[in-house]
């Protein structure tokens, strides 16, 4: 998923979630995200394909990442009902932001460059 964002001289390097959070541009940071509406607007602040990463424990590493997919309830802002593509214990799949576990300290990373 992150291969396009981390090319260097034609080589693609394997990087973990913490590396991506450290090295990619942050579009937004949400502390204590519970899935309720945010001020992040689809198609102006965030876009399909932007990465979303979560840190579950205070002072822990960012441990899970996915790609924003769509504003599934068409309210125009990021919330827990919107869809992400991610892989966890199961294969790559679509889930809502809330069901995929993106609750807590969340960052949205730019994957458009």
| Helical (H) or strand (E) element with 8 | strand 7-8
3-state SS, residue 22: helix
How far is 42 from 72, CA to CA, in rounded Å?
A: 11
pLDDT of residue 1: 43
List per-block mean pLDDT (blocks of 10 residues) for the chain, which spans 113 residues.
53 79 93 84 96 90 93 95 88 90 90 75
- What residues does each domain of the chain span? 3-8+25-109
3-state SS, residue 53: strand
How far is 95 from 111, CA to CA, in rounded Å?
A: 19
pLDDT of residue 3: 46
pLDDT of residue 27: 95
How far is 5 from 24, CA to CA, in rounded Å?
A: 8
The dihedral region occupied by 32, where left means phi > 0, alpha psi between -120 and 50, and beta the remainder, is left
């Amino acid at each position: 998923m992150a291969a396009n964002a981390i090319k260097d001289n034609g080589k693609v390097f394997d990087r973990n979630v913490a590396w991506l959070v450290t090295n990619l541009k942050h579009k937004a940071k949400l502390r204590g995200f519970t899935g309720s509406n945010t001020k992040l607007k689809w198609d102006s602040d965030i876009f399909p394909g932007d990465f979303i990463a979560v840190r579950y424990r205070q002072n822990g590493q960012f441990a899970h990442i996915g790609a924003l997919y769509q504003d599934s309830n068409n309210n125009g802002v990021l919330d827990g009902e919107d869809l992400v593509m991610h892989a966890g214990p199961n294969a790559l799949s679509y889930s809502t932001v809330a069901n995929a576990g993106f609750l807590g300290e969340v960052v949205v990373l730019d994957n458009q460059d």
